[in-house]
């Protein structure tokens, strides 16, 4: 270094320590990477988006109750095309013999057979996570392989495995794109491997440290690595460019130290806006925002740390190779663009203003979707193709669960009859209404005489059973007042008879015992699915869309009907209630993210430029790009997954504004030396390589995710992020320079220096207040 270490600043001493101890840092990173390779397998991925609903939402409470108190068996829809009805019946009988298949619903109605197409509704003996269900599905696929078959089922980790395969392809393509862009924008060939090693380490460390959160969402798990590379590649480019500049006049060690010392504050300031945008997501009521926020913030922080502590050593170790691999600049000159921007400064800002106004109104009318039902993706997996084929051939099913207190079978039956009367309801399934024998339902109450005639059990034995049941339930008045008038629900009576026969108090004939055992098995199975000690579950099959205003209104009708019998102790759960709860939280989350992301970025810009005017110009450009971006779904009349707006708007505000900062920084520096026109032209030329590199990588990564992912949420985020980044680049390179030139006098008048203000205030105080306010 040109001066002694004693005269070095703290940041230069830290830089020298990192460079001189690079081998120790290599060892630390090797150990951490090996650990991360193992710890990455400890991360649990949640594939259910409804798990991130706020705890107080009805859907979350309903789903929790069902998970705790009921068994929900796995199901699958198997459609066989070009098959006769008789052949379909034979195939159904064969499939029912498969181990793990509980039952198959199939009949000669439009729900199961249409135009030589058969639809088997399969219920497995295990839940969606049980291996027996997955094995049974595999056997079904094998047995129907010779048919024209379409199978729709979500079992085990099939969705997670599919997304992982798709994202591996996205990652591969993103790496090719990044390498291509870096090759064009780099100054030496050898700096590319240095950056790859740096960000490879950062990606592995981020993935490996996700285990600290226990469980992360499938969205965060899928896109975090790609976004980490796309959002943080700037930091490595800044350090590389600084090193190349310093190497022209210094030895390798001194050049790396000087480059790192200068890059640390520059990179730290650059990342603040990105972190601010990501932090805004953490305030969402929909908890997936917090999940993505912490994962991506950690990714950015780890990327910064690897650039600060690993990359300097790599630059030093490969300095000789870097020196030998310089190449010409592949980035083209943009003088024509610069001249055009200056010439059109009085025209295009007005066009931008009109587009922003229209974008504001059109984005406000964006057709948001809260489920995957109405969404399409460019890439489709086999399950999606099958589901679309089934929905096109047969009517779609919309299942709604209604949970009410258990024990009152009469109210349950009356509620079922009232719900079935609504035209929006096809069927209602409830335990109390399940047929037991000879037209009686298990919830019907029978007298001893009626039960004796129904089961052919001696009346005296039945009376004895009824008396024992009354005594067991401490209903002694029934015994004294006359047992013949005592009425007991079949469900409770069968359970009691089974228990007393098991204990040996009652002996039945072998035929009666066999019938009782079979009936008890059926009732027990039904109870597991439909009744617990605390609640009963009624399952409604609705004939209305999963997501619509009509459906949301009917949810209130169902809820109000159930409340007539059970008061406020009613919970609804299903895809429609989930969509309703998500739509209810979206308005608040949208407002929170919009306000906080702008506020956080404003604060960062305010202290970055020490100006009151510049932040508002930059915010206007980026917020304008956000509004224009989300006017496209309105113009195309295509539904947009609601989360795409929340995630992309925060990332676009936090990350894309860096492009505006690059140009504005250059302009404010050059404006002190030249006129505003020459300053803006020079600024665009100097900023273009950085914006081209970062912007093209982020946009390409977004489009790669959007085009190659079959998951509607992930694909939608990718498409919006790619499109939004391109719009931001065009506006930053075209409109922002014109606004800076046109508002040059405002920028000058609203700029300040905190140090100067403090000094003038101090002088004002020391002189006893003689300095007037205008001077300050």
Instruction: Report the pLDDT value the prediction gives residue 436, as an integer from 0 to 100.
Output: 67
Taking only the tens place, the pLDDT of each residue in 127-149 is 888 889 989 999 999 999 989 99
Share of the chain above pLDDT 70, in %: 94
Quote the pLDDT of residue 480.
57
Highest mean pLDDT among 51-55, 189-193, 344-348, 450-454: 344-348
Q: What is the pLDDT of residues 608-642, one digit of tens each?
A: 788 888 889 999 999 999 999 999 999 998 999 98
Q: Which residues, other chains included, contact 502 with Cβ-Cβ below 8 Å and sequence gap of 6+?
A: none
Q: Is 292 exposed, middle or buried (0-12, 13-18, 19+ CB in 10 A)?
A: buried
* Tokens describing residue 466: 């009824």
- 490-500 pLDDT per residue, tens: 778 877 877 87
The DSSP-derived string for 480-541 is: HH-GGG--EEHHHHHHHHHHHHHTTSS---HHHHHHHHHHHHHHHHHHHHHB-SSEEEEEEE
Tell me what pLDDT residue 767 has: 52
Residues 629, 714: Cα–Cα separation, whole Å: 17
H/E stretch holding 457 reads none
Task: Quote the tokens at residue 133.
Answer: 């269900």
Rounded Cα distance between 473 and 493, Å, is 12
Highest mean pLDDT among 4-13, 503-512, 737-746: 737-746
pLDDT: which is higher, 569 or 6 = 569
pLDDT digits (tens, 9 = 90+) for 146-168: 899 999 887 766 677 788 788 88
Residue with tokens 């013949």: 484
Summarize the confidence of residues 264-288 as an average pLDDT.
84
Asked if residues 328 and 600 have their Cβ atoms less than 8 Å apart, the reply is no
Burial of 707 (0-12, 13-18, 19+ CB in 10 A): middle
**pLDDT tens profile 702-720:** 899 899 888 888 899 899 9
pLDDT in the model for residue 513:
75
Average the pLDDT over each of 103-117, 178-192, 693-707 and give the range with the smallest value: 178-192
The pairing of beta strand 445-446 with beta strand 440-441: unpaired
Most confident of 153-167, 183-197, 347-361: 347-361
Structure tokens at 375: 């969404």
DSSP string across 214-247: SEEEHHHHHHHHHHHHHHHHHHHHHHHHHHHHHH
pLDDT of residue 156: 64
What integer pLDDT is reported at residue 770 of this predicted model?
45
pLDDT at 762: 47
* pLDDT value at residue 759: 47
Show Cβ contacts of residue 192 under 8 Å, excluding neighbours closer than 6 positions: 179, 182, 183, 186
């Amino acid at each position: 270094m040109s001066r002694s270490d004693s005269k070095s600043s703290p940041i230069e001493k830290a830089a020298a320590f990192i460079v001189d101890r690079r081998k120790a840092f290599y060892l630390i990173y090797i150990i951490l990477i090996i650990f991360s390779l193992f710890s990455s397998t400890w991360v649990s991925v949640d594939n259910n988006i409804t798990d991130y609903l706020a705890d107080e939402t009805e859907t979350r409470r309903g789903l929790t109750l069902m998970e705790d108190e009921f068994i929900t068996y796995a199901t699958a829809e198997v459609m066989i095309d070009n098959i006769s009805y008789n052949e379909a019946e034979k195939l159904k009988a064969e499939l029912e013999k498969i181990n793990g298949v509980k039952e198959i619903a199939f009949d000669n109605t439009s729900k199961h057979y249409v135009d030589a197409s058969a639809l088997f509704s399969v219920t497995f003996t295990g839940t969606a996570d049980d291996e027996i269900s997955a094995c049974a599905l595999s056997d079904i696929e094998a047995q129907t392989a010779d048919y024209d078959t379409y199978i729709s089922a979500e079992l085990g980790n099939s969705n997670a495995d599919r997304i992982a395969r798709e994202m591996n392809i996205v990652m591969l393509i993103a790496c090719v794109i990044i390498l291509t862009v870096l090759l064009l924008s780099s100054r030496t060939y050898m700096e590319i491997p240095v950056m790859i090693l740096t960000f490879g380490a950062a990606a592995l460390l981020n993935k490996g440290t996700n285990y600290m959160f226990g469980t992360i969402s499938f969205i965060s798990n899928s896109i975090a690595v790609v976004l980490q590379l796309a959002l943080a590649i700037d930091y490595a480019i800044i350090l590389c460019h600084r090193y190349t500049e310093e190497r022209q006049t210094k030895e390798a060690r001194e050049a790396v130290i000087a480059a790192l010392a200068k890059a640390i504050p520059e990179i730290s300031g650059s990342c603040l806006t990105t972190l601010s945008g990501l932090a805004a997501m953490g305030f969402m009521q929909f908890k997936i925002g917090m999940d993505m926020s912490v994962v991506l913030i950690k990714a950015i922080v780890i990327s910064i740390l690897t650039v600060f502590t690993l990359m300097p050593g790599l630059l030093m170790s490969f300095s000789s190779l870097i020196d030998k691999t310089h190449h010409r600049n592949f980035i083209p000159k943009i003088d024509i663009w610069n001249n055009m921007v200056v010439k059109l400064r009085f025209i295009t800002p007005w066009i931008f203003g009109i587009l922003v106004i229209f974008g504001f109104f059109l984005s406000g009318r964006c057709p948001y979707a809260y489920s995957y039902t109405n969404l399409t993706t460019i890439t489709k997996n086999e399950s999606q193709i099958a589901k679309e084929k089934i929905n096109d051939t047969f009517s779609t099913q919309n299942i709604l669960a209604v949970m009410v207190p258990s024990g009152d079978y009469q109210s349950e039956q009356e509620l079922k009859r009232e719900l079935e009367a609504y035209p929006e309801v096809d069927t209602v399934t409830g335990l109390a209404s399940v047929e037991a024998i000879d037209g009686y339902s298990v919830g019907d109450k029978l007298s001893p005489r009626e039960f004796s005639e129904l089961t052919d059990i001696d009346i005296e034995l039945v009376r004895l059973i009824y008396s024992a049941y009354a005594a067991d339930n401490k209903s002694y008045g029934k015994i004294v007042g006359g047992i013949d008038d005592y009425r007991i629900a079949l469900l409770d009576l069968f359970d009691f008879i089974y228990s007393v026969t098991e204990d040996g108090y009652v002996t039945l004939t072998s035929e009666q015992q066999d019938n009782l055992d079979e009936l008890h098995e059926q009732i027990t199975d039904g109870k597991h699915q439909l009744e617990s000690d605390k609640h009963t579950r009624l399952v409604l099959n609705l004939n209305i869309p999963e997501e619509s205003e009509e459906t949301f209104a009917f949810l209130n009708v169902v809820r109000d009907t159930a409340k007539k019998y059970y008061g406020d102790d009613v919970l609804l759960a299903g895809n429609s209630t989930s969509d309703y709860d998500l739509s209810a939280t979206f308005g608040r989350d949208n407002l929170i993210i919009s306000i906080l992301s702008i506020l956080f970025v404003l604060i960062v810009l305010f202290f970055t430029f020490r100006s009151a005017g510049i932040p508002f110009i930059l915010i206007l450009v980026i917020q304008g790009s956000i509004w224009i971006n989300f006017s496209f779904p309105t113009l195309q009349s295509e539904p947009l997954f609601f989360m795409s707006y929340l995630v992309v708007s925060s990332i676009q505000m936090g990350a894309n504004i860096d492009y505006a900062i690059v140009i504005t920084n250059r302009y404010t520096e050059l404006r002190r030396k030249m006129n505003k026109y020459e300053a803006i032209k020079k600024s665009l030329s100097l900023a273009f390589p950085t914006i081209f590199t970062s912007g093209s990588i982020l946009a390409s990564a977004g489009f790669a995710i959007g085009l190659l992912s079959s998951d509607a949420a992930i694909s939608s985020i990718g498409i919006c992020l790619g499109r939004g980044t391109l719009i931001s680049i065009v506006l930053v390179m075209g409109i922002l320079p014109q606004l800076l030139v046109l508002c040059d006098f405002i920028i000058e008048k609203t700029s300040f220096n905190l140090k100067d203000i403090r000094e003038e205030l101090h002088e004002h105080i020391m002189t006893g207040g003689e300095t007037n306010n205008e001077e300050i």
